Amino acid sequence: MGDNDDAENNESVPDTRGKAVQSTLANTILDLLEKFPPSGIDPPWSTDRHDSKPWHWGEPEPENATDLLSLDQHEIIKMKRAHRGFIGSADYRLPKYVPHSYAGAKEAAAASSTPRRGIVTVGGGKYFVILAVSLRFLRRSGTTLPVEVFVTEAEYEKKICEDVLPKLNAICRVYPQLGVENKQIQGFQLKTFALLFSTFDEILFLDADNSAMRDVEPLFKSEPFQKTGLVTWPDYWQTTVSPLYYEIASAATTPIAIPVTARPSTETGQLLIDKQRHWKTLLLATYYNFYGPKFYYRLLNQGFTGMGDKETFLPAAAVFGLPAYQVHTPIERVGHRFEDNSTGGRVNVQYDPIDDWAVTAAAEHSFTQDGAVLPKNEDEWKAQYRDVRPLFLHTNWPKWDPVNLLGHISKWSDMTQGVDGHPEPAFHWPVELAAQIKGTERMMWEEARWVACHLNHNRLRHWHNNQQAERMCERLNDHFAQVLDTEVGERIGLGPKDVLYPGLPDFDV
């Protein structure tokens, strides 16, 4: 069999209930990745981390913000050759999108010209706890799309994967064998492999601690996704891609260096991708993640805030000149109000790309006509997007693990009271944003209680031998009885009538 026959000979992966197995696609991709290491030596870069500067619309280009790395010219040549070699070999061996399938799965026997759409996430360990909360919230708010939860073989849990998730139209997928015990692949690197080995053709990726306020299926039919096949969302920070990256990536084509002022960096707690149209993007992003920790994470971020997979998708698409759309409505944080009127982090709120696309199209028309005036300042720019609706609630810190909810460790992690010590919603400040997501916090509390009472320490490995988890159901029931279901709960907007959607039908686990 010739190398270029790989794409036509991807056998179905057996469903062995928690066992990592061989896969032709996985073997081919791993072979490609291992053949083109960026360099034979570790780069002489420090492990220093830097605080990123917030991105602001219209702010002047900062000086020397993206030129913090240096590399010997011989190493640059090596990395160029490896980058070019991976792209060329991948294009030869995997020239077209290869759908992945699992033997015995319903989708394997039901080939259709209609793209399979679904949600992909990464679970396992502590993430099973927060995923259970966010998945129930997702179902409660109207999303019925199937969900694939990727785990390593070591993280597969029979009770959660076979008893709980299927009742929420979700299934565990064990990563195929990717080297010796997956030692090279962990953390941020796992996201692109989950996308590759999902059975879905069109995917909304969600972090385990991320959920949506409305049905997300319309996103797949939306104009931004239909026109580009790749939709991303903004982070708080400036982009900090090293000029060295553009020199290395220009071996394939000549991607245009993105000015720091052009857009904020990307936040990949949610990502919408069409694998068929962005097959090359996904393969190259996988290369960047496989060699991320020592090479590409630092090239694409240089040690600034949030270094990881988040900057690997848009640069990969740019290498091939493929279109993408990044939501323009700025990410916002909702939480407690501190003494200086700043917001204590609880939830990152991301906005609806359908609304955003409509506003952006109108704004570009309005502000690019002859004689038109561009927004004068950031407030005017933001005002264009004031009617775009919140969609995703990324509870990234503290995590919405039931065991964490009633602790009073510090004002930064308190979920039940404000800085004055009185009961207060965790999603409270700023007031305007809190009003837009009103009702979501009560739902989060209710789903956390369900998880604590139904998936106790005997069912979730992460809670084994955890005395707090053993008592959490009782403690949360007390909190509802003493606060949330009383006049206090009604006064602070966390009463029974404040929920957006009715509860899910109960089921045994």
Percent of the chain topping pLDDT 70: 88
Of 190, 198, 226, nearest in space to 357 by CA: 226
Task: Say how far apart CA 172 and CA 381 lie, in whole Å.
Answer: 43
* Confidence class for position 1, pLDDT limits 50, 70, 90: very low
Of 208, 72, 188, nearest in space to 132 by CA: 208
Note whether 458 and 450 are within 8 A (CB).
no
pLDDT attached to residue 196: 95
Residue type, 207: D
What size, in residues, is the chain? 509
Each domain of the chain, given as residue ranges in start order, spans 3-41+69-326, 394-498
C-alpha neighbours within 13 Å on the C-beta side of residue 413: 13
Note whether 387 and 359 are within 8 A (CB).
yes
Measured from the Cβ of residue 380, the count of other Cβ atoms closer than 10 Å reads 13
Note whether 82 and 36 are within 8 A (CB).
yes
Note whether 241 and 311 are within 8 A (CB).
yes
pLDDT attached to residue 387: 95
Given a cut of 60, is residue 255 above it in pLDDT?
no
Residue type, 237: W
Given a cut of 70, is residue 110 above it in pLDDT?
no
Of residues 64 and 348, more confidently modeled: 348
Percent of the chain topping pLDDT 90: 53
Range name among 73-87, 128-142, 367-381, 489-503 with the lowest pLDDT average: 367-381
pLDDT digits (tens, 9 = 90+) for 189-238: 889 999 999 999 999 999 999 999 999 999 999 999 999 999 999 999 88
Which are the contacts of 498, defined by CB distance < 8 A and separation ≥ 6?
438, 439, 442, 490
Note whether 344 and 338 are within 8 A (CB).
yes
Note whether 252 and 91 are within 8 A (CB).
no
Residues 343/347/348/349 CA torsion (nearest 10 deg): -100
Residue type, 486: T
95-107 mean pLDDT = 77
475-484 mean pLDDT = 95
The DSSP code for 402 is G
pLDDT digits (tens, 9 = 90+) for 148-198: 999 999 999 999 999 999 999 999 999 988 765 445 677 778 899 999 999
* Confidence class for position 112, pLDDT limits 50, 70, 90: low
Task: Say how far apart CA 324 and CA 281 lie, in whole Å.
Answer: 11
pLDDT attached to residue 3: 46
Cα distances from 459 to residues 125, 130, 283, 503, in angstroms, run 12, 14, 37, 22
Q: Phi, psi at residue 212, to the nearest 5°?
A: -125, 150
- Write down the mean pLDDT value for the chain: 86
Q: How far is CA 393 from the centre of its chain?
A: 11
* Confidence class for position 484, pLDDT limits 50, 70, 90: very high
pLDDT attached to residue 109: 43
pLDDT attached to residue 182: 47
Note whether 407 and 327 are within 8 A (CB).
no
Range name among 81-85, 198-202, 342-346, 408-412 with the lowest pLDDT average: 408-412
260-280 mean pLDDT = 92
Note whether 265 and 306 are within 8 A (CB).
yes
Residues 455/458/462/466 CA torsion (nearest 10 deg): 110
Predicted TM-score of the model (pTM): 0.92
The DSSP code for 338 is P
Residue type, 499: V
Which are the contacts of 314, defined by CB distance < 8 A and separation ≥ 6?
230, 232, 258, 266, 324, 326
pLDDT digits (tens, 9 = 90+) for 405-447: 887 666 666 788 877 778 889 888 899 999 999 999 999 999 9
3-state secondary structure (DSSP) of residue 343: strand
Range name among 21-30, 105-114, 156-165, 461-470 with the lowest pLDDT average: 105-114
CATH 3.90.550 holds for 3-41+69-326 = yes
Of residues 241 and 118, more confidently modeled: 118
pLDDT attached to residue 11: 58
Cα-based angle 431, 488, 411 (whole degrees, multiple of 5) = 55
Ranges of beta strands (E only) in 377-426 are 390-394
Strand pairing of 147-151 and 170-174? parallel
Given a cut of 90, is residue 495 above it in pLDDT?
yes
Ranges of beta strands (E only) in 102-158 are 102-103, 117-122, 147-151
Which are the contacts of 418, defined by CB distance < 8 A and separation ≥ 6?
336, 337, 424, 428
pLDDT attached to residue 215: 98
Q: Phi, psi at residue 265, to the nearest 5°?
A: -65, 170
